[in-house]
Amino acid sequence: MDDLDRALINTLQGGFPICESPYAEVADRVGSDETSVIARIESLLQRGLLSRFGPMYHAAEMGGALSLAAMEIRPEDYERVTDIVNNQPEVAHNYERNHRLNMWFVLATETPDAQQATITRIERETGYAVYNMPKIREYFVGLKLHV
């Protein structure tokens, strides 16, 4: 990563402008131009330095469902299962943990029924149980990682 990549990541963590030319606005903030900003975001995604770039919707407010899920994966099978889980469009984040339940991920679906369908699909494709922990109460943690 160079200085522009870092500036983009740090800037975009604060939100994306809602205006007629949002990429031009971001470019002004980081001292670049609109074309370069778009190309850099695409490059960050292609290189895997960003896992996604897009809006985050409040699934429950829109009638959907949001929950934290965990799985206990054998170490020798972790990479295979990670690929399957990460390829589910309903999975927002996936983290490895040093715990018996070593894979944790967030599920966001359009409906509660879709959440169960996603869990069933992951279990069928991986051969592992998914422990679903639906959100009861929401807390906001404004985590921004300076790079």
Per-residue pLDDT of the chain (147 residues; tens, 9 = 90+): 999 999 999 999 888 999 999 999 999 999 999 999 999 999 999 998 888 888 776 667 777 888 999 999 999 999 999 999 999 999 988 999 999 999 999 998 888 899 999 999 999 999 999 999 987 877 777 767 788
Is residue 27 in a domain? yes
69 with 124, same domain? yes
Q: What residues are paired with 106 via a beta bridge?
A: 68, 93
Question: Can you tell me whether residue 48 is helix, strand or coil?
Answer: coil
Question: Can you tell me whether residue 97 is helix, strand or coil?
Answer: coil
Is residue 139 in a domain? no
Is residue 144 in a domain? no
66 with 121, same domain? yes
Q: Per 3-state DSSP, what percentage of the chain is helix, strand, and coil (rounded to 5)?
A: 40, 15, 40
Q: What is the CATH number of the domain that holds 15?
A: 1.10.10
pLDDT of residue 22: 96
Q: What is the CATH number of the domain that holds 116?
A: 3.30.70.3460
Total tally of structural domains belonging to the chain: 2
98 with 122, same domain? yes
**With 0-12 CB in 10 A as exposed, 13-18 as middle and 19+ as buried, what is 104?**
middle
Tell how strand 131-134 and strand 103-109 pair up.
unpaired
Tell how strand 91-96 and strand 131-134 pair up.
unpaired
117 with 90, same domain? yes
40 with 71, same domain? no
Is residue 8 in a domain? yes
Q: Contact, 134 vs 67, CB < 8 A?
A: yes
- Dihedral (Cα; 36, 38, 42, 47), 10-degree rounding: 40
75 with 127, same domain? yes
82 with 16, same domain? no
Is residue 143 in a domain? no
18 with 73, same domain? no
Is residue 24 in a domain? yes
pLDDT of residue 72: 98
Q: Contact, 52 vs 81, CB < 8 A?
A: no
9 with 64, same domain? no
Domain of residue 120 covers 60-134
